[in-house]
Chain A
């Protein structure tokens, strides 16, 4: 195969129009901020943006798969502090760094497995199951810590959150690797392609021999695992953990994924889109801080953006369907 064709085969055949709109919005925002605030387009501010939104960015990777499958995971915002606290308590008690991280991550994945297993065994919508998990874990986090922060970690651990490699923060490297893996897997791997089938038409997926329940186990486990990774990195970055970490982050994550073009009915969505959504939210929140907009208004704006993007996608979709018929 000639290289150009090979490249063509890997690239999306048609870039969804809403994503182009999203990219343009992002560029306009960046341009406006650069002109208005000279300190915006600096390396230092780039680092602020990258680290500030890193937990949400990591979680949005797993959430994309969940939403493509037609489900939702509200528990990620509680799994993050849960994992961070687990790791923190173990480190505090002198457990070795790899063992503490490994155990904490496995626990986070188990939460995801439980979400999927309960949802399919009880035939309950994941919204309800993960809502319950979220509430339970929030309680557990407070009980375990007694509401007080846990700290005192070895540098071997905090390096993960604070260290840099050639000037690039370690969490950003972790994220880049994971985002690439997710992007390629969702788009090109057979296993992950089946997630689109499940979200697109669950009954047909069953009839086509797709092992729906088994795949959903993996999808939710991976989603929770990403929240776990975020938790570990946050703990390492701050050198201390508390039950208040990740408050409401599940909503930001879902917002980013939906902005990125995933439909909550399942069957559509991509990592590329999600990355754009994440980036837009991250830059937006940074812009809020820089311009001194009240935090109260921030949610108003991001809410309006979700509505706007959904509306735009819907209108474009309708036009396309009309011309196609």
Chain B
């Protein structure tokens, strides 16, 4: 079989950081080739090299067994290589149709855009992946899941010989993901070659023909998907055995720390009431868009609410901004770490103390750098954040380590209630296990945790109680020890 696209001995370094070592990777025509590995293993860099975003330091990219040099993404696209990037790369102010076609809007001989044709073709590109999003809607007004569908439709709008998808399902609902898989299988049988990057190993096993595992920038194995199982993959990715976390489900018999009564805002969420105790992990399950994040942001003072009240330690409190919430001991770990969580251009140390300035500052509000650094370094060690350097730029860290920095930021603020929203989105298995273990340890030490997650296994394995949301309402409160996945899904999707 002839490889359509091949990386031959590719190496790449960013400054002193060697990201890829002599990586060789061959993608065959008419196959789906999964690329797995922990965050920071070099998958995204490899993908960026194959799609012309970066150029390799050494080694070559071969298209149809001929060495090619992609100067920029445009060159790679012109050769039929399409990518779905992990970070949404859409234009919020433009219509769905304009986004799908980007710079290739259908136009006449003089370059004038044919709007009707563009709308129709956009609609059919969306219909192909089973989506009925209005091509005229503004992308900025769509949900994250819908935006992801637009991003996929864009990659498929034009004939692709090679399609590279980086975590395409991280924001998709189950049915949308299923439809995507069907489309990918169709594409495969029509001869396209697909690189599929994902942390969801079940997906990988179901979908792919071949699997390549990257670890620390090296290829540690390539094999047909049917000849490996999930455990072997995880072992290859991590380089060690990962014990499945089995939570201790004895919720402390303490009093309620946070009580929410009848919280409502328009049609976004209605009459949401719940309480969470010290030492308890309360899971929020539900589909994307069921109002969980909105409720959390309202409690935290990041958004307003119309009706209802919030009690902390039995006292009704007024939280008008996140600062109020932090003073009351509430932390909120956002679901969107890059846009709303981290200061990417600042040091890891500055990020860690960002929510606990009063603790590390003098009375005149000058930051004490010794205290700041000591605090930061203590958390770097405790959460095993790599590299263990408080002066490292937060934006340079891998996704898993960024997520840990975010967690450290809130733990440094010593909250009594911590709301964590999708704490392991786009995070590799190793970092995921570490974050899960941290959450359990924190609960064991008396922290009250609200865990919002769209990954059912995560909610099921960590929560003492599970609150299920549907269409802005809290529709069921289940016992974490006895609830089954079916039961949760029935409530969430009814």
Q: Answer whether residue B254 sits at the interface, using C-beta atoms and an 8 A cutoff.
A: no
Nearest residue (CB) in B for A269 is: B93
Give per-residue flags for A180-205: 1 if the beta carbon is below 8 A from chain B beta carbons, else 0: 00001000111101101101110111
Q: Which of B73, B77, B89, B112 contacts A188 (CB 8 A)?
A: B112
CA distance A207 to B268 in the complex (A): 34
Q: Is the CB of B112 within 8 A of A190?
A: yes
Classify chain B: how many residues form its interface, as a range: 20 to 34
CA distance A36 to B111 in the complex (A): 48
Q: Is the CB of B141 within 8 A of A197?
A: no
Q: How many Å from the CB of A269 to the closest CB on chain B?
A: 10
Q: Is the CB of A197 within 8 A of B94?
A: yes
Q: Could you jot down 29 A-B contacts, CB within 8 Å?
A: A13-B136, A188-B112, A189-B107, A189-B110, A189-B111, A189-B112, A189-B113, A190-B103, A190-B105, A194-B103, A196-B91, A197-B91, A197-B102, A200-B91, A200-B92, A200-B94, A201-B92, A204-B91, A206-B73, A207-B53, A207-B83, A208-B73, A208-B102, A209-B73, A209-B78, A209-B102, A267-B94, A323-B266, A325-B294
Q: Is the CB of A200 within 8 A of B73?
A: no
Q: Answer whether residue A9 sits at the interface, using C-beta atoms and an 8 A cutoff.
A: yes
Q: How many Å from the CB of B472 to the closest CB on chain A?
A: 10
CA distance A141 to B74 in the complex (A): 42
Q: Is the CB of B115 within 8 A of A210?
A: no
Residues of A within 8 A of B (CB): 1, 5, 9-10, 13, 184, 188-191, 193-194, 196-197, 199-201, 203-211, 267-268, 321-325
CA distance A325 to B305 in the complex (A): 13
Q: Is the CB of B116 within 8 A of A207?
A: no
CA distance A60 to B83 in the complex (A): 38
Q: How many Å from the CB of B54 to the closest CB on chain A?
A: 12
Q: Known contacts A1-B116, A190-B113: does B91 contact A209 (CB below 8 Å)?
A: no
Most buried by B among A9, A194, A323, A325: A325
CA distance A208 to B74 in the complex (A): 7
A323: chain B residues within 8 A (beta carbon):
266
Q: How many Å from the CB of B45 to the closest CB on chain A?
A: 15
Q: Known contacts A208-B73, A210-B103, A324-B141: does B113 contact A201 (CB below 8 Å)?
A: no
A1: chain B residues within 8 A (beta carbon):
116
CA distance A196 to B139 in the complex (A): 13
Nearest residue (CB) in B for A267 is: B93
B136: chain A residues within 8 A (beta carbon):
13
Q: How many Å from the CB of A208 to the closest CB on chain B?
A: 4
Most buried by B among A188, A191, A194: A188
Nearest residue (CB) in B for A266 is: B93
Q: Is the CB of B107 within 8 A of A190?
A: yes
CA distance A106 to B88 in the complex (A): 41
A203: chain B residues within 8 A (beta carbon):
89
Q: Is the CB of A10 within 8 A of B112?
A: no
CA distance A325 to B472 in the complex (A): 11
Nearest residue (CB) in A for B83 is: A207
Q: Is the CB of B74 within 8 A of A209?
A: yes
Nearest residue (CB) in A for B88 is: A204
Interface positions, chain B 39-90, Cβ under 8 Å from A, are: 53, 72-74, 77-78, 83, 85, 88-90
Q: Is the CB of B103 within 8 A of A201?
A: no
Nearest residue (CB) in B for A205 is: B91
- Apart from A9-B115, A193-B98, A204-B89: 5 A-B pairs, beta carbons within 8 A: A189-B111, A209-B74, A267-B93, A267-B94, A325-B294
Q: Is the CB of B141 within 8 A of A321?
A: yes
CA distance A188 to B117 in the complex (A): 13
A321: chain B residues within 8 A (beta carbon):
141
Q: Is the CB of A267 within 8 A of B113?
A: no
CA distance A188 to B114 in the complex (A): 8
Q: Known contacts A194-B103, A197-B103, A322-B266: does B89 contact A207 (CB below 8 Å)?
A: yes
Nearest residue (CB) in A for B93 is: A267
